[in-house]
Amino acid sequence: MTEFGKTFTVTETAIPGLLVVELPVHGDSRGWFKENWQREKMVAAGLPDFGPVQNNISFNETVGTTRGIHAEPWDKWVSVATGRIFGAWVDLREGDSFGTVFTIEIDPSRAIYVPRGVGNSYQTLEPATSYAYLVNDHWSPEAEYSFLNLADETVAIDWPIPLDRVEISAKDRDHPRLSDVTPVSPRKTLVIGAGGQLGRALRAEFGDTDRFEYATRADLELGARALDSTRSWRDYDTIVNAAAYTAVDLAETAEGRTDAWAANVHGTAALARIAAEHRITLVHVSSDYVFDGTKDGQYTEDDAVCPLGVYGQTKAAADAVVATIPRHYIVRTSWVIGDGPNFVRTMTSLAARGIAPRVVADQVGRLTFASDLAGAIAHLLRTGAPYGVYNVTGSGEPRSWADIARTVYRLTGYDPALITGVSTAEYFAGHAGPIAPRPRNSLLSLDRITATGWTPQDADAALSAHLAASADVDA
């Protein structure tokens, strides 16, 4: 019999993510009414905003009808419209909780949130029972499922009605025992732009396991018209877009402008559309170039963007696109140094050849080492930090490019006096071809990222360690 007047509550179970929800049911002489799924209230109470797209109902005429145990690659909201069931759930996901069991009776005043990969089964305890479930993906024959035998001795579900006396399909009766079950793999993280400085750092951070997939431009072309069908996107929970068009001067040409917009905006928009449709978290890497550099002090995440050149305009446009999807991190950074061509490597080479270069002295910022940037991205994902914009650079005192060049010369054993500091205008005087305007102030406030528990590395100390490691490799 349906219990009326319950208080709406959400209770955790022994299976991680499997939640029991007591639902208020309002009844009178006409019958009863309940809000079976009310997104605003339920998300506020701690239930996942799982985005159901399909509602299914299974009608069971006789007592003892038994179905399961099925684990699907989507999340479910399970309830009973009429009647009563004994429900049993078994964790069939990879991990320490594999094989954990939870059972409970459900009538219309109780519901269960079932996360992806947890096996679902039930047995009817009243005639004419209607078992309802909302799911957040459409059924597909290509989707990967996992199954467990209802009579498995390891999980030992105590069915109210013995299985030899119930209505059960031959298919459900023949499912494998727990020892033969294929565990449901976790959804994957896809790193795009894996061949670049940040992409290589992300591979070093995440590792080479089945949980992570790395794609270069040769593997995945963001501009492809068939991008939606290049992957089974339901299998991913995170996309880290480390790919970008970064030739800032070339972007000022007619051809470069087209390429920059195609890669940085249209490609990112395609990813954003996929992420929104499949409830994927999108990590987008932004740039100090979205600002004009005229601010007196550090730029915060809430400062209005005001890009000077084409590259900055494309990054600002991409930021705006990504900000529209529910699950996103926009990671804004500057002056990235990693495994590949970069300013520090160039200065090291010039020093070794005894060259005395002219270096820009009126642009100020902080270096960001790709390994630290990758670590910050991993931290945001691992801790489930609030979605939004985060500045990520090295910490410490502001430096100009000329300051950094002198430090490189000094730490590599060469005379820093060989560096001549010049203005940006002087540096590019007489240069053939378009020159992109650069922000003079690239300082980004780190208060928001540090509030999440991540500690940025001092940029000067990181430069010293980087040069020492490079010297060891060369030796």
**Which DSSP string corresponds to 23-56?**
--EEEETTEEEE-S--HHHHHHTT-------EEE
Asked whether residue 193 is domain-assigned, the answer is yes
CATH of the domain at 327: 3.40.50.720
Domain-ending residue, one of 159, 180, 201: 180
- Domain-located, residue 2: no
User: Do 228 and 172 sit in the same domain of this protein?
Assistant: no
Same domain, 247 and 380: yes
331 and 290 co-located in one domain:
yes
Q: Which of 180, 208, 235 is the last residue of a domain?
A: 180
Assigned domain for 3 exists: no
Contact 102, 158 (CB under 8 A): no
Do residues 390 and 298 share a domain?
Answer: yes
Q: Which of 124, 147, 180 is the last residue of a domain?
A: 180
**Enclosing domain of residue 155:** 9-180
Sequential pLDDT tens for the chain (475 residues): 566 778 899 999 999 999 999 999 998 888 889 999 999 999 999 999 998 999 999 999 999 999 999 999 999 999 999 999 999 999 999 999 999 999 999 999 999 999 999 999 999 999 999 999 999 988 877 778 899 999 999 999 999 999 999 999 999 999 999 999 989 999 999 999 999 999 999 999 999 998 999 999 888 877 666 787 778 888 899 999 999 999 999 999 999 999 999 999 999 999 999 999 989 999 999 999 999 999 999 999 999 999 999 999 999 999 999 999 999 999 999 999 998 889 999 999 999 999 999 999 999 999 999 999 999 999 999 999 999 999 999 999 999 999 999 999 999 999 999 999 999 999 999 888 899 999 999 999 999 999 999 999 999 999 999 999 877 556 5
- Is 129 found in the same domain as 242? no
Residues 208 and 140 grouped into a single domain: no
pLDDT of the residue at 474 = 61
* pTM confidence score: 0.88
208 and 322 in one domain?
yes
Distances (CA, A) of 214 to 37, 206, 241, 337, 445: 38, 10, 10, 20, 30
Catalytic residue IDs: 70, 133
The CATH number of residue 142's host domain is 2.60.120.10
Does 448 reside within a domain? yes
Check whether residue 146 and residue 226 sit in a common domain: no
SS3 state of residue 424: helix
Looking at the fold, whether 239 and 162 belong to one and the same domain comes out as no
In a domain, 319, yes or no: yes
Residue 97 sits in the same domain as residue 72: yes
> Quick one: 264 and 391 in the same domain?
yes
Number of domains present in the structure of the chain:
2
Does any domain span residue 320?
yes
In a domain, 1, yes or no: no
Residues 175 and 51 in one domain: yes
Side chain identity, residue 103: T
Helices marked H in 279-388: 310-322, 343-352, 370-383
Residue 330 in any domain: the answer is yes
Of 207, 204, 208, 236, give the one whose Cα is nearest residue 220: 236
